[in-house]
Amino acid sequence: MRPKMTRFSEDGRSYAQRRGTGWDAGRMSRIVIVGAGVMGLATAWALVRRGERPLVLERFGRGHTHGASHGATRNFNNAYADGHYLDLLQRAREGWDALGEVDGEPLLRRHGLVTHGVGGDLGGGADDADGLETIARSLGARGIPAEMLSAAEAGARWPGMRFETDVLYSADAGVARASAAMLELERRVQDGGGEVRWGAPAAGIDDLGERGARVRLASGGEVEADVVVATVGAWTERLLPGIRLPRLTVTEETPAHFAPTAGPWPSFNHRLDPSRYPAPVYGMPTPGEGVKVGFHRVGDVVDPDARTHRVTHHETLVDYVREWMPGLDPDSAVHLSCTYTSTDDSAFVLDRVGSVVVGAGFSGHGFKFAPGIGATLADLALDATARAAAPFRLPRG
């Protein structure tokens, strides 16, 4: 195992001793994180909680809409059956609880989640006819509230939705306040002595073996570190050409907000007949914007630097809302755009190669896991022998 190294500047002071002197491209750091989306910021927060002072480099400005972390809400969907996802979910919950409230409201709104329908995979590891009961048992074994309701019971509780099959309901789910979480994570990183540098695009990341790792900057400079953590979403393959990655497909997704005419609204997953609809549906209430409804992973494959912002499946989504959501105005759709970066099996990538830690493949179902993913990536950055759960590891050999 390579011994841990601390980089020093020409004046002999370590990075920890030099913090507060301002960022410069030639500085040597112990840990550099490339990408200040939710995963990068969550990793930086996990590191400052352990006494580290990471440097975070982000290509775009604060609050940008070029990636996958912008917007007011993300579905806090706990309908998973696989143990590795439930382990990560519980670690994430610990992080969300530690983040607590922002502006007098928790960053997690736990108004509950309903999952219904048969078929279609939303990442829960159970997509057969008995999948919902399998998920309910898995959640119950972890002490996570879960109950099965009849379609009639669910329809009486949530009249804005229509149900034809039994429904899995978990009260311990809802939405994450995405944009508020991003700002709070950055604040905690800065207050803990870390640094987030906006408008600092990277051109590449190299493993230097015993010398650590290097970030090559688009400006022509470079930053060396003991460890570099790459959480760069749609740009992962481009910035890590030397690392063997699974196929990462970048798509542009265009869900929409619809105006509610009835309520109350939980978050929801609906697994549909694939002969009628292109994919399962997910959604959640977003105060001030309506109820977000979208098909899961159906957008055009795109170059993240040349997105078309073309809305896909608009008419089919409106037809879905008209058929299944009597409490929404189907003619009120306001579309939004984000990227998904997905592996073929939707599994995350959480691993370390030499002195480079990789976090990728999160889009579509990753945001809720962010504090747990950040803690896992911090483990990998601080200990070269650490390993994430086997399904999240890179192929070897």
The per-residue pLDDT for range 272-284, each reduced to its tens digit, is 998 899 999 999 9
Q: Which amino acid is at 120?
A: G
256 — pLDDT class (breaks 50, 70, 90): very high
Strand bridging mode 267-271 / 113-117: parallel
Please give the pLDDT value at position 124: 45
Burial-class residue 24 by CB neighbours within 10 Å (0-12, 13-18, 19+): exposed
d(CA 375, CA 309): 33
pLDDT at 122 (0 to 100): 54
- Cα separation, 69 vs 366, in Å, equals 10
pLDDT of residue 237: 96
% pLDDT > 70, the chain: 90
Residue 27 has pLDDT above 70, yes or no: no
Tell me what pLDDT residue 8 has: 28
pLDDT tens figures, 194-230: 999 999 999 999 999 889 999 999 999 999 999 999 9
Reported as a single tens digit per residue, the pLDDT across 99-132 is 999 999 999 999 999 999 976 555 444 444 448 9
Amino acid at 380: L
Question: At 269, is the pLDDT very low, low, confident or very high (cuts 50, 70, 90)?
Answer: very high
Confidence of residue 28 (pLDDT cuts 50, 70, 90): low
- Our CA dihedral for 292, 294, 299, 305, rounded to 10 degrees, sits at 20
Give me 326's structure tokens.
């009597």
Q: Which of 349, 43, 352 is nearest to 226 (CA)?
A: 352
| Whole-number pLDDT of residue 29 | 74
| Residue 364 pLDDT | 84
Which of 226 and 12 is assigned the larger pLDDT? 226
The reported pLDDT for the residue numbered 1 is: 34
Per-residue pLDDT at 327 exceeds 90: yes
Task: Dump pLDDT digits (tens) for 43-89.
Answer: 999 999 999 999 999 999 999 989 899 899 999 999 999 999 999 99
Residue 270 has pLDDT above 80, yes or no: yes
- The answer to whether residue 265 scores a pLDDT higher than 60 is yes
**Torsion angle defined by CA atoms of residues 169, 173, 177 and 183, in that order, rounded to the nearest 10 degrees:** -160
H-only helix segments in 290-369 = 314-324
Report the DSSP beta bridge partners of residue 293: 256, 283
- 307 touches 338 (CB < 8 A): no
Q: Where in the chain is the domain with CATH 3.50.50.60?
A: 15-67+179-247+344-392
Residue listed under structure tokens 């896992």: 376
Give the Å distances, CA to CA, from 235 to 65, 204, 240.
14, 10, 9
Q: Is pTM beyond 0.75 here?
A: yes
Is residue 63 within a helix (H) or strand (E), and if so which, with residue range?
none
Q: Enumerate residues 6+ apart whose C-beta is below 8 A from 137.
A: none
- Among 3.30.450.20, 1.20.140.10, 3.40.50.300, 3.50.50.60, name the CATH number for the domain at 15-67+179-247+344-392: 3.50.50.60
Q: Which residue has the tokens 């939707």?
A: 346
- Do residues 280 and 120 make contact, with C-beta atoms less than 8 angstroms apart? yes
**Cα Rg, the chain, nearest whole Å:** 21
* CATH class name, domain 113-172+249-342: alpha beta
> Is residue 185 over pLDDT 70?
yes
**pLDDT tens-place string over residues 330-370:** 999 999 999 999 999 999 999 999 999 999 999 789 999 99
Task: Delimit the CATH 3.30.9.10 region(s) of the chain.
Answer: 113-172+249-342
pLDDT digits 0-9 by tens, 291-306: 999 999 999 999 999 9
pLDDT in the model for residue 121: 56
Note the residue count of the chain.
397
pLDDT of residue 119: 66
Q: What pLDDT is stored for residue 395 in this prediction? A: 86
- Taking residues 130-149, report their average pLDDT: 93
Distance separating the N- and C-terminal Cα atoms of the chain: 18
CA-wise closest residue to 282 among 292, 274, 83, 301 = 292
Identify any residues that bridge with 168 across adjacent strands, giving them in sequence order. Answer: 115, 148
